[in-house]
Structure 1
Amino acid sequence: MKPYFFYLLFFIVPSLANAQNLLQGTVTDAITHEPLSNVVISSAGADLTIFKDLGQTNAQGKYHLNLPEGTVKIRFSMTGFTAQIVAVSASTLNINLQPATLDLQPVIVSASREKQSRQDAPIAISKITSTQIQDTKATALYQLLNKVAGVYMVDLGNEQHTMAIRQPITYNALYLYMEDGLPIRPTGIFNHNSLYEINMGSVRDIEVIKGPASSLYGSNSIGGAVNFITQNPPSGYAGNVSLQGDQYHYRRVDANAGFTAGKFGLYAGGYVAHQKNGWQDYSDFDKYSFNLKSTYDFNAATRLTASASYNYLNTQTPGSLDSAHFYNRSYGSNQRFTYRKVEAFRSSARLDHVWNEHNASFITAFFRDNSTAQLPSYYIGDVRNAAGQYVSSNGQVNDQKFRSYGFLAQHRADFDFLHSRLILGAYLDDSPSSYYAQYLNITKDVERNYYTDFVNTGRYLDDYQIKLFNTAAYVQYELKPVEALRVVAGLRYDNVHYNFENGLPPSNTKYKQQETNNFNIVAPKLGLTYDLGNNKGFYANYSVGFQPPETSNLYSSRQLVLLKQATFNNYEVGGWLSAFNKKMYFELSLYDLEGRNEIISQLLPDNTTQNQNAGATRHRGIEYSINFLPVKEVSFRFSGTNAQHTYLDYSEVATNYSTGKSYSISYDGNRMNNAPTWIANSEITYKPMYLQGFRIAGEWQHINSYFTNPANTKTYGGYNLYNLRLGYDFKKDLLQGAGIWLNVLNLSNKLYATTVTGNSYGDTYNTGSPRIYNLGISYNFSKH
């Protein structure tokens, strides 16, 4: 019996010793609870002088390691997160990594649709992190995006907006808005308001490309491309619920939850927002927004991701104010019947596969179903006679619908030759759409300047269908001839095809019953980055952007002139550096963006607008951001842009009402209207160590003065806004997981306009909100 006993000890004792040296667990993001792949795990002995790399987490954030003898501490580190060192106290260690307050090399995906370091991308790109999203507690996306250097997202109320990135404040299709790398709307059906079709409660982080990104993403990404990256299923399970509101009866409820069990993961999240009897007359709204995402890992190399989103917005639209009402803080609407109703559904299925360490592919199939119905306040116009006397008023009710089917496929191959990488992609978008607009007779109380009622005449101004087909192919090649230098070249071909079918009889339209329009473009890109070492480097970039005319502009009955395709040449240099022992990070970009046939919004005599091509425009500027962490508890950020936007070749046709004759006015050399020369946003945040979970932040937003008309005879002085944010997240005891916050927006109760538009009879003002106190509570739970 004794020999068998010794044989048993011979096998068991080494097994026990090996079991004690095994370490396993999962590493997750402390904010989103998503598993983190490629986290580097290192070990050290008692002296903590030398850490030895042991391996990395897999795609599911899991690791399984054999520890060297004498291991006392384990370090978990990853770009963009604060490294964590823990003692080895058990065979299983689950780690939550906190996103870094000062991220010197953020990981991005929007530069190539592949994860890479910011310093490998020869473009101006900024990232809004999950930490910023959590700390800001934004009620609208402009409160986040305006933190980015060179970005001014204009708040038009009730999640409506317009944008200014390397462009004046514009309603035109110069920006590409994406969700997880897919355009949320097809080419040709842009809506400056379309970010209300994003569920901001399910956004993990946001990436902003500034300047043309057409070589990878195609049309409309002229001023910039904004990519909203949504939450993935968490490791284990996690969830959050929150409630917030303000003194003007804004109410919002958020809820999200998810889990991962084996190979399957699921996330669901959404919010409901409601406004009733707010600070501005006739501005009630309801918003319902939901996201669903599931993942299935067939194996370590293959993942299927399916997602869907639904957004509904029903809002009253009070319109803008004249100068008298604006400066008297009289926020009454001059009508009570305009509205906007939006329903937007999107779904997609993406299959990722890693063939080997040098090759990876993905293919995405997507579907969109969208309807935007409105009685717009900006189409209400007064008809006047030759003497300028009021005659009548009119408007329209319209509805635009589209349904999209398409796919995006991309393959990436890495080569040993010069450490090069080749990316090939193809895109197809079939988006049939329809549009109608009916003429309204509007009754006006001239003495009170108040529109009292309307009658739908049933007469169609527009009634058409369009078969919209966009096909594209792109290629991008990267190489490193030397270790410090990376060169990137890209080329994309797009064909945008419109097949127009008119529903109006020939006697009632200026268009044919059927016509086709084709727009073709080859958009190149050439850039380089150079790493100077110690978190210092620079980049240079040349790129081309393009913009085909929108279907609503080409075929609208209000459009009096034919439109050409616009093209833009972008020349850009920039750089980055860290200083003060990596406590400060500085980024800088200088650009020269030259537009040919840029589509400009022209004011008509009835104060409505149409579009026409400008011969040439120039946009020159500098964008800069500084992040400084003087001590661990205090962080400081300053972001800004100084720019000049100029008409090089642009004129408008005006009418002399006394003679009835038309004449041309040239604006060559003038500054473009609604183009601030300086935009800045700065924030200082304090998170005391002695009170874990508490934060207080002060923010300053500056918009410089700008001309409100192309003649440069009218000016708006701009504004300075101050915001205060306080919050506390309970870290222990019975209230662990609970949070509370108070945001005070427009702290000084400043009277300001988010945008001002010049017209024939004076300026009109989109009024910014007075001081608002937003109070919220939340509860988080998680386990993995």
Structure 2
Amino acid sequence: MKKTITFAILFILGINSYAQSFNGKIVDNSNNPLPGATIVASDNPNNGVMSDAEGFFTITLQDSNVVTVSFLGYTTKKVILISSTNVIRLTEDNVALDEVLVTSASREIQKRSEVPGSISTISTKTIEETKAFGIDQLVNQVPGVFMSTSRAASNEQHFMAVRSPISTKALFLYLEDGLQIRPTSVFNHNALLEMNDISYGRVEVLKGPASSIYGSESIGGSFNFITKQPTEKLTGSIGFQTNDIGLSRYELEISDTTSDALGFYIGSHYVHRENGPIEHSNYEKLAFTFKTVYDFSATAKWTTVLDITDYRSDMSGSLSESDYFGGNFESDQTFTERDALAFRLRSTLDKFWNDKNKTSFNFVFRDNKMDQNPSYRIRQFRNIGQLTGFGSGEVNSNQFRSFVGLIQHKLDFNFANSSFIVGATSDFSPQKYVAESTNVIVNPETGRNIDFSINSGDYILNYEADIFNYAGFLQYEISPLELLKITAALRYDGFEYDYDNQAEGIAGVEDAVDTFNNLTPKIGVNLQFFW
């Protein structure tokens, strides 16, 4: 009997010897604590705890140190706990949080209700249900936004308006995950044709100059396209769309988290159109995105995104009023086109020093080239009002490479829900532009432009320019009252444009180096009213 009792005591002690307490903290991708998150032992669903108001938790485990962490609006995650303090970072579920959280104002996740500006979100669900053939079919669902593609028969070449007249001016900033698609001063009109719309989990449109984090081109508004996160398990999809106006689209997506630390996403689409409603409006586009997210420690995350876009489109030009109302959609153009090849590589290291401090280190490389034989440059010659059979035009090529560095630090304070963001960025983009005149052959009976030849060496412009943008910015936010948010910001911009004319005496202006600088303050107040 004594042996039995002794054995039972030793058995119980043996079980308890495997029990161990683990401490940790649940935070989001911006290091904000998540109170009320559930932490459950993977081998015992009855053993669970919740994080406190600061996101901290303590749980006692026995046979396994694997837990499942979940929080409403975030992706559930399995974690192997370690003996030291565990910082568990949950990624927002785009479907659940699209209407709650935004990143456009500060590159950091924050509640939309706390941003002193007008932000509209195109949710994951909306993107999936729209099944858009192009980005215009998405952004035109945002009130106050109109992306017009009628000029080029909806081939993703566009005008843009955000609570403003339609314009090709550089008033709008196009971003991917908070980083610019093109450098400042390189014409960003038509930049959206370089995007891979299948890769975006959601889109945020900031209307007006509501943020000092970005530069001058965001004065009319900004479009932030947020790429999809790797899925927890292996997923994949293929898609095909077609319509009755000659357009076909093929899609492919693959995503997985190959280990507890590394996940990837691949998304690609190919779109092609022939025999559209307007003559000479064929186009094709191949876009590819490869994204990796590597959590190589509890306090560091490395994200890399590669984008490649190959685009070619006819340029049909405009229809006259009489042709439009008469149902005559023939084109006066037979050879005009636009051809673009865009390459972008972005690498971001997010370092969480503690639960109050986060630094983001960003590097971006761009390599873009766009060749055009543009319809809007063709001029037909007339003699006493009659077409002569001749005209003029141009061919041009614009290419640039960019080397971009950006660092941003966010510090959260313990009082009044306040935070401070400080950062600096530099963008060096050597650019080359060549435009030569062309001779155009015109059918004098129909007015169609039927052929052309290049006047080689007859330069309209031929230059190289080194473009250097640099900026520093800071932003402070505080909520002295629960329903009141005050934002104060300051931004300094410097710009240097080193122009080297390659056709001196023939075209263009003399070589010059121009420098500009600007200091921009900002203050915003956001007060929520309840009736």
Residue identity matched to 2:13? F
Structure-1 residue corresponding to 2:279: 281
> Which residue of 138, 144, 147 corresponds with 1:150?
144
Structure-2 separation of matches of 1:345 and 1:510: 29
May I ask how many residue pairs the two structures share in their alignment? 490
2:226 corresponds to 1:226: no
Q: Secondary structure at the match of 1:6?
A: helix
Q: Which residue of 1 aligns with 2:492?
A: 493
**2:168 corresponding residue in structure 1:** 171
185, 192, 199: which one aligns with 2:182: 185
Q: Report matched runs for 1:125-164 at 5 Å.
A: 125-156=119-150, 157-164=154-161
Shift of 1:12: 5.8
Residue in 2 that maps onto 1:414? 412
What SS does the aligned partner of 1:294 have? strand
Q: 1:181 to 1:328 in 2, by over 3 A?
A: same
Distance (whole Å) between structure 2 residues aligned to residue 306 and residue 521 of structure 1: 32
CA distance in 2, matches of 1:498, 1:133: 39
Amino acid at match of 2:516: F
One-letter amino acid of the structure 2 residue matched with residue 440 of structure 1: T
Partner of 1:467: 466
Q: Given the alignment, which residue of 490, 503, 527 partners 2:524?
A: 527
Note closer, same or farther for the CA distance 1:298–1:75 as it changes in structure 2 (3 Å cut).
closer
Distance 1:489 1:371 in 2: 39
1:41 aligns with 2:37: yes
Aligned CA distance change for structure 1 residues 519 and 446 (closer, same or farther; 3 Å) = farther
Q: Secondary structure at the match of 1:325?
A: helix
Normalised to the residue count of structure 1, the TM-score between the two structures is 0.58
- How far did 1:280 drift? 2.1
Q: How does 1:209-358 map to 2 (within 5 A)?
A: 209-213=206-210, 215-260=212-257, 261-358=259-356
1:420 Cα shift? 2.4
Shift of 1:78: 3.1
Q: Contact 2:212 / 2:489 at 8 angstroms: preserved in 1?
A: yes
Question: Structure 2 CA distance, aligned partners of 1:432 and 1:518?
Answer: 16
Conservation of the 8 A alpha-carbon contact between 2:419 and 2:476: yes
Retained in 2: the 8 A contact 1:335–1:450?
A: yes
Partner letter of residue 260 of structure 2? G
- CA distance in 2 between partners of 1:411 and 1:327 (Å): 57
Q: How does 1:624-643 map to 2 (within 5 A)?
A: none
In structure 2, relative to structure 1, the CA distance for the partners of 1:215 and 1:64 (3 Å cut) is same
Tell me the amino acid that sits aligned with residue 162 of structure 1: F
1:282–1:333 CA contact under 8 A, matched in 2 = yes
- RMSD of aligned alpha carbons: 3.4
Q: What are the Cα deviations for residues 660-689 of structure 1, in whole angstroms up to 9, with x where unaligned?
A: xxxxxxxxxxxxxxxxxxxxxxxxxxxxxx
The Cα of 1:213 is off from its aligned counterpart by 4.3
Take 1:357 and 1:294, find their aligned partners in 2: how far apart are those partners? 24
- CA deviation vs aligned residue, 1:448-503 (integer Å, no higher than 9, x gap): 12112112111111110000000000010112223322210111111121111011
Structure 2 Cα separation of the partners of residues 360 and 98 of structure 1: 22
The percentage of counterpart residues that share the same residue type is 35
Give every structure 1 segment of 4 or more consecutive aligned residues whose post-TM-superposition deviation is greater than 4 Å. 12-16, 36-40, 63-67, 74-77, 95-98, 387-392
Letter in 2 for 1:399: S
Which amino acid in 2 is paired with 1:397? V
One-letter identity of the residue aligned with 1:217: Y
Partner SS for 2:464: strand
1:403-458 deviation digits (Å, cap 9, x = unpaired): 00011110011223544211101010000000001101111122212112112111
Amino acid at match of 2:142: V
Structure 1 counterpart SS, 2:95? coil
Residues in 1 aligned to 2:333 and 2:99: alpha-carbon distance in whole angstroms? 51
Q: How far apart in 2 are the matches of 1:329 and 1:123?
A: 44
Q: Give the unaligned 5+ runs of structure 2.
A: 40-47, 62-67, 76-90
Going from structure 1 to structure 2, the CA distance change for 1:196 and 1:96 (only over 3 Å counts) comes to closer
Is the 1:345–1:370 Cα contact (8 Å) retained in structure 2?
A: yes
Cα shift readout 1:312-332 (whole Å, capped 9, x = no counterpart) = 101111111111211122211
> Which of 6, 9, 23 matches 2:8?
6
| Greater relative contact order (CA < 8 Å, ≥ 6 in sequence) | 1
CA contact (8 A) 1:478 1:487 kept: yes
Q: Does 1:199 align with 2:209?
A: no
For residue 463 of structure 1, what is the amino acid of its counterpart?
N
Q: Which stretch of structure 1 is more off in the superposition, 493-502 or 521-530?
A: 521-530
The TM-score, its normalising length taken from structure 2, stands at 0.85
The equivalent of 1:403 in structure 2 is: 401
Structure 1 residue 521: Cα displacement: 1.8
Asked if structure 2 preserves the Cα contact closer than 8 Å seen for 1:39 and 1:76, the reply is no
- Change over 3 Å in CA distance of 1:124–1:98 after alignment to 2: closer
For 1:11, give the aligned amino acid. L
Determine helix, strand or coil for the equivalent of 1:286.
strand
Amino acid at match of 1:239: G
5+ unaligned residues in a row in structure 1: which ranges?
Answer: 29-35, 44-51, 68-73, 82-94, 537-576, 578-784
- The alignment status of 1:480 with 2:479, answered yes or no, reads yes
Q: 1:38 to 1:199 in 2, by over 3 A?
A: farther
Cα distance change of structure 1 residues 96 and 406 upon mapping to structure 2, 3 Å threshold: closer
Q: 2: distance between equivalents of 1:282 and 1:39?
A: 58
What is the letter of the counterpart of residue 99 of structure 1?
V
